[in-house]
């Protein structure tokens, strides 16, 4: 169905941060399939793991033990400092699990209409519950009636959250992205997330972090909350978890980890041997090579490079982000930059109308990063000069 307005290119193969189209033209990928291929394209270890697993066993069922799922569960919960994990197949599914957990948490405490606080400009997926949680009318329009049970506040605004705490007795959880991705690479003030955590502790609410875009090393730590010294109660992952093999995860800690019992939730494909073999290799490769440190340093140098190259250019509001999650906010809509960059062999994205978003693979070389800065800054100069 016509759910995508596609760009006029089809890729045939890739390697690291490079892609080749069906005409064999080469591209530099600064988007990673939207924060999915953090290890780059055709990563040898992932390819090997997927091929080996495919030759042994693709799928059995969650009715039976799945060795790769158990190993991945141990690895992922250790990396995240969480207790338990549920595996699904996508980000939306991971968030559905988190929303169900929050409701169950409320019901167990005698609350028959539990509410979850969500943010303006957030993005949590396209299923009915997750689009209802999403703070973007374009995502919701035409799909009403929306799922009930969400209260919306501005992102980064602790006072607004405090007002909800003071006035709404049915709240059981807060669902928030550590950095808003689709919303425009919005980095909250440093005291915000610790403040949300403190408020959740105070009120007995679950703090649910949607790390679907920020997770798996992208921001310079394995998970974005690890830049702070708190832990969420629930965290969702997907995108880069399988480096392109579909897998999502909902991790939980403490009481939240003990809520689901047999029969409460499930998935046919979730956590199957193939997806888990890929994700396990992603976790191990990221950890062995400390690729989050590369994300931190490469991201800083790309932001600095862009700031230098765009200094005094009229129309650039800000270069922002953390690690390899980078936004260049302009003073005007700039969707057309995507096609212009494509012509020059560069893959970028524009979100929230006027923010150029870069999500390069963590394996991008310094030389490729320099190339990215140089092509993109001249494109931006031309565009902002009205050429
Ligand atoms: C991409 C994304 C989702 C949705 O993931 P899907 O796999 O497309 O369902 C949810 N939350 C955030 C923050 C995302 O970036």
Residue 374 in domain: yes
Cα(95) to centroid(ligand 1), Å: 8
Q: What is the dihedral of CA 228, 229, 234, 239, to 10 degrees?
A: 40
Check whether residue 212 and residue 259 sit in a common domain: yes
Protein residue whose Cα sits closest to atom 15 of ligand 1: 213
CATH label of the domain that carries residue 264: 3.40.640.10
How far apart are alpha carbons 382 and 297 in whole angstroms? 28
Q: Is 24 part of the annotated catalytic residue set?
A: no
Is residue 274 domain-shared with residue 147, that is, in the same domain? Answer: yes
pLDDT of the chain, 387 residues: tens digit per residue: 999 999 999 999 999 999 999 999 999 999 999 999 999 999 999 999 999 999 999 999 999 999 999 999 999 999 999 999 999 999 999 999 999 999 999 999 999 999 999 999 999 999 999 999 999 999 999 999 999 999 999 999 999 999 999 999 999 999 999 999 999 999 999 999 999 999 999 999 999 999 999 999 999 999 999 999 999 999 999 999 999 999 999 999 999 999 999 999 999 999 999 999 999 999 999 999 999 999 999 999 999 999 999 999 999 999 999 999 999 999 999 999 999 999 999 999 999 999 999 999 999 999 999 999 999 999 999 999 998
At a CB cut-off of 8 Å and minimum separation 6, what does 46 contact? 39, 243, 244, 245, 278, 281, 282, 285
Atom of ligand 1 nearest to the CA of 246: 7
Residue 6 resides in a domain = no
Task: Please indicate, yes or no, whether residues 187 and 97 belong to a single structural domain of this protein.
Answer: yes
Q: Are residues 139 and 248 in the same domain?
A: yes
Contact 182, 123 (CB under 8 A): yes
The DSSP output letter for 151 is E
Residues 344 and 279 in one domain: no
149 ligand 1 Cβ < 6 A:
no
Ligand 1 centroid distance, CA of 249 (Å): 12
Both 237 and 324 in one domain: the answer is no
Establish if 2 belongs to a structural domain: no
Per the CB < 8 A criterion, the answer to whether 207 and 119 are in contact is no
Instruction: For residue 165, report the distance from its CA to the centre of ligand 1, in Å.
Output: 27
In a domain, 354, yes or no: yes
Q: How far is the CA of 34 from the centre of ligand 1 (A)?
A: 10
Please state the atom number of ligand 1 nearest to the C-alpha of residue 177.
13
By most ligand atoms within 8 Å of CB, the mutation choice from 3, 38, 123, 188 for ligand 1 is 123
Are 316 and 375 found together in one domain? yes
Q: Is 210 in the pocket of ligand 1 (CB under 6 A)?
A: yes
Helices (H), ranges, 153-220: 158-167, 192-203
**CB 177 near ligand 1, within 6 Å:** yes
CA of 374 to the centre of ligand 1 (A): 30
Contact by Cβ (8 Å): 126, 94: no
Annotated catalytic residue within 203, 239, 260, 383: 239
Classify residue 112 as left (phi > 0), alpha (psi -120 to 50) or beta.
Answer: alpha
Lookup: tokens for 48: 């090997």
Q: Report d(CA 185, CA 219) in Å as an integer.
A: 11
Query: Do 57 and 192 belong to one domain?
Result: yes
**First CA to last CA across the chain, in angstroms?**
35
In a domain, 38, yes or no: no
> Measured from the CB, is residue 183 less than 6 Å from ligand 1?
no
Are 278 and 186 within one domain? Answer: yes
- Number of domain units in the chain: 2
Examine the fold and report which residue of 289, 320, 350 is the final residue of a domain before the chain moves on.
Answer: 289
- The CB of 211 under 6 Å from ligand 1? The reply is no
**CA 156 – ligand 1 centroid, Å:** 20
DSSP structure class, residue 104: H
Do both 270 and 364 map to the same domain?
A: no
Note whether 125 and 208 are same-domain residues: yes
- Residue 327 CB less than 6 A away from ligand 1: no
Q: Look at residue 126 and tell me if it is in a domain.
A: yes
Any domain includes 320? yes
Cβ of 197 below 6 Å from ligand 1: no
What residue numbers bound the domain in which 324 lies? 11-30+290-384
Q: 21 C-alpha to center of ligand 1: Å? A: 26
**Domain presence at residue 152:** yes
CATH of the domain at 296: 3.90.1150.10
Does residue 36 line the site of ligand 1, with CB under 6 A?
A: no
* Active-site residue flag, 123: yes
The last residue of a domain, from among 289, 313, 330: 289
Q: Give the span between the Cα atoms of 361 and 243, in whole angstroms.
A: 10
Q: One of 29, 203, 210, 383 is an active-site residue; which one?
A: 210
Residues 19 and 152 in one domain: no
Domain boundary among 242, 263, 289: 289
Q: Is 124 exposed, middle or buried (0-12, 13-18, 19+ CB in 10 A)?
A: buried
- Specify the length of the chain in residues: 387
183 contact partners, CB below 8 Å, separation of at least 6: 121, 122, 123, 135, 136, 155, 177, 351, 352
φ, ψ of residue 362 to 5 degrees: the values are -70, -10
């Amino acid at each position: 169905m016509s759910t995508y307005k596609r760009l006029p290119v089809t890729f045939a193969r890739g390697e690291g941060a490079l892609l080749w189209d069906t005409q064999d033209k080469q591209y530099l990928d600064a988007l990673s399939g939207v924060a999915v291929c953090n290890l780059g394209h055709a990563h040898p270890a992932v390819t090997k793991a997927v091929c080996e697993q495919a030759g042994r066993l693709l799928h059995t069922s969650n009715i039976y033990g799945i060795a790769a799922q158990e190993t991945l569960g141990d690895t992922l919960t250790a990396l995240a400092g969480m207790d338990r994990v549920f595996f699904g197949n996508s980000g939306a599914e991971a968030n559905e699990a988190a929303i169900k957990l929050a409701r169950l948490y409320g019901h167990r405490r005698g609350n028959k209409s539990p509410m979850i606080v969500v943010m303006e400009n957030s993005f949590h997926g396209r299923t009915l519950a997750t689009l209802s949680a999403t703070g973007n009318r374009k995502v919701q329009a035409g799909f009403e009636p929306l799922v009930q049970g969400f209260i919306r506040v501005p992102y980064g605004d602790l006072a607004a959250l405090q007002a909800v705490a003071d006035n709404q007795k049915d709240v059981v959880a807060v669902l928030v992205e550590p950095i808003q991705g689709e919303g425009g690479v919005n980095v909250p003030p440093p005291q915000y997330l610790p403040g949300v955590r403190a408020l959740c502790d105070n009120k007995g609410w679950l703090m649910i972090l949607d790390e679907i875009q920020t997770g798996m090393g992208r921001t310079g730590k394995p998970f974005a909350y690890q830049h702070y010294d708190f832990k969420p109660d629930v965290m969702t992952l997907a995108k880069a978890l399988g480096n392109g093999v579909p897998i999502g995860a909902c991790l939980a800690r403490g009481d939240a980890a003990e809520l689901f019992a047999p029969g409460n939730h499930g998935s046919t494909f979730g956590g199957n041997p193939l997806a888990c073999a890929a994700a396990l290799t992603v976790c191990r490769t990221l950890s062995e090579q400390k690729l989050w440190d590369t994300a931190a340093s490469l991201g800083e140098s790309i932001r600095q490079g862009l700031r230098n190259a765009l200094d005094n250019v009229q129309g650039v509001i800000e270069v922002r982000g953390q690690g390899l999650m980078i936004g260049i906010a302009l003073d005007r809509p700039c969707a057309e930059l995507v096609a212009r960059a494509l012509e020059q062999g560069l893959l970028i994205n524009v979100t929230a109308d006027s923010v150029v978003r870069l999500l390069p693979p963590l394996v991008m070389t310094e030389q490729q990063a320099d190339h990215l800065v140089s092509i993109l800054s001249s494109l931006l100069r031309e565009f902002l000069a009205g050429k």
